[in-house]
Structure 1
Amino acid sequence: MLRDFGVTPKSEHYACMVDMLGRAGKLREAQRFIDSIPIKPDAGVWGALLGACRIHSDVELGEIAAKSLFDLDAANPGRYVILSNIYASSGKRAEEDRIRALMKLKGVRKVAGHTIIEIKNKVYTFVAGDRWQLRQI
């Protein structure tokens, strides 16, 4: 990038590389890439690796990525949920329960997903888990 285009790579570029390597199943190569970058990896870089670990059910590397994310941003519920999902997909129920208990202990809560739509000039919201109610806002 720098040599050919004069663009200094930023954290977003490194996160994209980790994401591409991870999605391709090259998780160890993604980890080596993180270890080699000239900046301190941020939440975007570690989040890309954690997401790839979820896709490929890599518990060991997922734990490393999650620990780094917890150190950077312990209040973000998404990191806990992804790690607990990695444990769940790997049949590690005790570890999954431990992460959920840790969330509770730290007061970290996942906000329910929602969608907002407009129909005939009226705005409606749908919340994850809703089945029977259409709420106008």
Structure 2
Amino acid sequence: MEPTLSHYALMVGLLGRAGLVQEAYDFIEKMPIEPDVITWGSLLSSCKVYKNVELGKVAAERLLLIDPDNSGAYSALANLYSVCGKWEDAAKIRKLMKDGGVKKEQGWT
């Protein structure tokens, strides 16, 4: 069986949830196929949980290269900055969203 992009994204998610954020990034860099928004988003989410700003910035940048209007990437990066007490950086990201006309999707309950 040949692994698909979904298999690789799941592995990134597992590593990230286990707190192995650097290992998840290294795994992405060694993937034989191009990572997608799901893969980068999974890493970005893990970076928020484990407060890894540097890898979070990389994940957000890569995600936004694939999907520049992805409001979730902007929000996740701003939230990562907020969780880490980087209030000015969070405000810059939110301003960037506003200036770029990127609308945050409303949550559903």
- TM-score tier, shorter chain, comes to over 0.9
User: Structure 1 stretches (4+) deviating beyond 3 angstroms?
Assistant: none
Q: Give the drift of 1:44.
A: 1.2
Q: Does the 8 Å contact 1:11/1:44 carry over to 2?
A: no
| 2:75 equivalent to 1:81 | yes
Distance 1:23 1:86 in 2: 16
Q: SS at the partner of 2:14? A: helix
Give the aligned partner of residue 60 of structure 1: 54
2:93 to 99, 110, 127: 99
What do you get for the CA RMSD once the two structures are aligned?
0.9
- Structure 1 length normalisation: TM-score? 0.77
Give the aligned partner of residue 65 of structure 2: 71
Give the aligned partner of residue 4 of structure 1: none
State the identity as a percent: 46
1:36 to 14, 21, 30: 30
Q: Which has the higher helix share?
A: 2
Structure whose CA Rg is larger: 1
- Structure 2 length normalisation: TM-score? 0.96
Give the aligned partner of residue 111 of structure 1: 105
Aligned length: 109
Structure 2 regions of 5+ residues with no counterpart? none
Give the aligned partner of residue 17 of structure 1: 11
Q: Give the drift of 1:111.
A: 2.4
Q: Deviations over 1:67-110 (max 9, x none)?
A: 00110101111110010000000000110001001101110011
Flag the structure with more relative contact order, 1 or 2, with Cα contacts below 8 A and sequence separation at least 6: 2
2:83 corresponds to which letter in structure 1?
Answer: S
Structure 1 regions of 5+ residues with no counterpart? 1-6, 116-137
Q: Which has the higher strand share?
A: 1
